[in-house]
Chain A
Amino acid sequence: MDTTMIINSILAVIGTLILAFAVSIWLPGIERKFIHARIQQRVGPPVSSPGFMAPIKFFFKQVLTPNSPMPRLYNALPLISLIIIVFILLVIMPQMYSFAALASIIAVIGLLKVEEIMYMFMGSLSKSVMSVGMPFPDLVKGAKHVNETRSFIEELSTLRAFRLIAFGSFPLYIALFVPVVMAKSIFLTDIFAFQQIHGPVLFTVAGAIGAIVYFIGFMIMLNEYPFAIMKTKADVIEGPLLEYMSKYRAYVYITRGFLIFVLASLFTTMFLGIPPNIFSWNILVTIAVAIIFPIAMAVMSAFSPIFTFRQFYPVVAATSILGVLAIVASVL
């Protein structure tokens, strides 16, 4: 590898990251302003507000110590999540395909799992004032159960995050294996090469089914309605994210926008054979998918109630079965 190539690669990686960041800060705004608000016949926030202006505002807010047993670690978790997501984007860039072991679907899934686990840590480390019981024995109405062990509502989110890791994110991971089975390789470079020769996986029956499954997995991964069980406002309010404030909340916002872009990029890489690369016109396809996905997600969530586990289990099971069918179809 000569020096020019190395410099070009470095520039491509940095440029793609900057582009990804620039696009991702607008995605939550597009989702909320143009879709959610339009469907609900209201004005909605300015398009720059949720992804761009809100984090800026939060960066200048006063930092208080959250109500947590390990406040520093708790505050660090959104930043760690962001780093993990950035790392996923790095892994799927074509310039990184020479790092064979990292540029594989197993590494991507592993990193996504780590990102999911972060919510468990967040939930366990958050002890919000919302759940603190009365400081004296509760004798109003004779109090049915005096001095019962009280649970912080974020602890419920932790359990739900665990369940999501255990089964909730199945559809996304199953869908990722459709191109793997078709290319007969777990390495992104082989999947990319396979699609250069045989055309995009998306345009096969298995790929089309896999794309639907991936999209549902995408919504679950982003904890978006109707799959927002981890932060449903009917009970746990915001769950693991409840205690974040100032710049740490800004990281949460940025992380979500970035995750939308990264999952869209992962989709274009796996199903269209278009990895994110700023030096290729195909980056426009990645950007288009990054915009279409949250728009479709906003349409779905605007017309659905929130699921409890009673609805969640069957939906995930059905989607997973669909994913397995896609894998079977990809073998045939």
Chain B
Amino acid sequence: MDNNNKVTSKVIETEVPLGTVHSAAIEPYRVRLFVEDEIVRDAELTVGVNHRGIERIMEGLPVEKANSLTEKICGICSNSHLWNSCLTAEKGLEIDVPPRAEYIRIIMEELERLHSHFLYLAHGSEVLGHETFAMRLFYIRETVMELLRMIGGNRVQYGVSVIGGIRPRCDLNEMKIQKISEGMNYIEEKIGEFADRFVRDPMVMSRISGIAAITKEDARRLATTGPSLRATGIEVDLRRDMKEYEPFEFDVITQDTGDVKANLLMRVLEIPEAVKIIRQAIKDLPDGKITNRSWEMQDTGIIRSYIEVPRGKLYHSYSLEDGRVRNSIVRTPSITNINTMEFACIGTHITDAQLAIVQCDPCFTCTDRAVKILDEPFRNITKI
């Protein structure tokens, strides 16, 4: 195999196509596994089944409408998309967001990180074949979902951020703060119990230790992002560079081995950090306005914004023309991680291949939006 993840040998025993519909894959994507004696020698992962063309729909929409449309990109990181889309406009139009709104946005983002990580751990356990862990993790996650519903009004599309701040209904009062505090106590206790049970289980550890390991060098070469990158030992977290996170103290979690175990532990250990940030945010929540309405619309060039979402780096960019969105591009972390997923499959047992993909926390339905035609006559099509 060469450095570009291509098999140099022509001899491949057989191909096992998994998907686009498969019981271990909760989203429609296609994996071609090229195997020899049940060991994966090469892999190819393609998306395109659920193409929705959201960027195309956003083109020409008023910016507020376009922002709320980005929330529909993902059912897990809906807040992240909306927040980043609003951030893009705020950056381009130089809008100052009131500190109270910043804090509530951070609380929402970290709650979303919690529910995403619990979802990851539950899905990982299910692919591992440990249904009991999966079920119990979903129960713990339910607390977070209820908190999200309490703040945003919905369990999936919260609609918290607007340009210049947050919606009035999403403001926090004493009762809500109390409930968030209780929820965090519960989460911290439960994740501690789970982590203890998890790392002491020899059967689970034997399934995940040393499986689908990615080295630092490979992670850099494959442009891995998010917790999957940090699982290889590279300390990169965009939250460190975001001014919104400046008031908060938290540790950037890293692991060394880059395997399934490291990836799972990454999420387990990031949960208390998210809890820590939420606790700081509710403790120091500033008083005052929640929305800055004193700004004017104007035309802009291409505005770019990156934020750290539960799965990695999220990119939004668009320009504004008469208050409408032009040249919109969204890049989710999963598109960045597809190469890593393919690479992680290689060398694993075929049963572990799905686990190797899941370890990068894929979200393909969110990734599946735009198609770029590279050459005529539509022979080579690449997702962007």
A interface list, Cβ under 8 A from B: 36, 39-42, 130-131, 133, 138-145, 148-151, 153, 156, 159, 225-226, 228-229, 232-235, 237, 302-311
Contact = CB atoms under 8 A, between A and B. Distances in A.
A234 B203 CA distance: 17
Given A40-B131, A41-B135, A302-B131, A229 B15 contact: no
A233 B7 CA distance: 27
A311 B351 CA distance: 12
Interface in B229-276: none
Contact of B136 (A41, A226, A234): A41
A139 B24 CA distance: 25
Interface of B: 6-7, 12-18, 21-24, 32, 34-35, 38, 42, 44, 46, 48, 125, 127-132, 135-136, 139, 203-204, 206-207, 349-355, 379-382
Contact of B351 (A36, A140, A234): A234
A49 to B, nearest CB: 18
A226 B21 CA distance: 24
Contact of A151 (B14, B207, B352): B14
A233 B16 contact: no
Given A303-B132, A305-B128, A232 B351 contact: yes
Contacts of A232: 129, 351
Given A40-B136, A149-B13, A305-B125, 10 more contacts: A40-B132, A41-B139, A148-B12, A151-B14, A151-B15, A229-B351, A237-B22, A303-B132, A306-B129, A308-B351
Contacts of A225: 129
Nearest to A132: B17
B24 A234 contact: yes
B206 A142 contact: no
Contacts of A308: 207, 349, 351-352
B337 to A, nearest CB: 15
A235 B207 contact: no
Contacts of B350: 156, 235
Contact of B382 (A141, A149, A307): A141
Nearest to A159: B38
A137 to B, nearest CB: 10
Nearest to A37: B135
Nearest to B130: A305
Contacts of B382: 141
Contact of A150 (B14, B42, B46, B130): B14
22 contacts: A40-B136, A41-B139, A130-B21, A130-B22, A141-B46, A141-B382, A144-B34, A144-B44, A145-B12, A145-B44, A148-B14, A150-B16, A151-B15, A151-B35, A159-B38, A232-B129, A234-B24, A235-B353, A305-B125, A308-B207, A308-B352, A309-B38
B128 A306 contact: yes
A311 B139 contact: no
B354 to A, nearest CB: 5
Contacts of A226: 129, 203
B23 A237 contact: yes
Top 5 A-B pairs ranked by shortest CB distance? A306-B129, A151-B14, A148-B15, A40-B135, A305-B130
A311 B12 CA distance: 26
B372 to A, nearest CB: 12
A37 to B, nearest CB: 9
B218 to A, nearest CB: 18
Contacts of B16: 131, 150-151, 153, 156, 235
Contacts of B381: 140
Contacts of A131: 16-17
A244 to B, nearest CB: 16
A235 B128 contact: no
A5 B131 CA distance: 52
A139 B48 CA distance: 13
A235 B203 contact: no
B380 A139 contact: yes
Nearest to B34: A145
B7 A144 contact: yes
A149 B32 CA distance: 11
Contact of B354 (A36, A41, A153, A234): A234
Nearest to B33: A235
A142 B207 contact: no
Contacts of B128: 305-306
Among B131, B203, B206, chain A packs the most CB atoms within 10 A around the CB of B131
A133 B17 contact: yes
Contact of A140 (B21, B22, B24, B46): B46
B178 to A, nearest CB: 26
A14 to B, nearest CB: 40
A227 to B, nearest CB: 11
A306 B135 contact: no
A305 B204 contact: yes
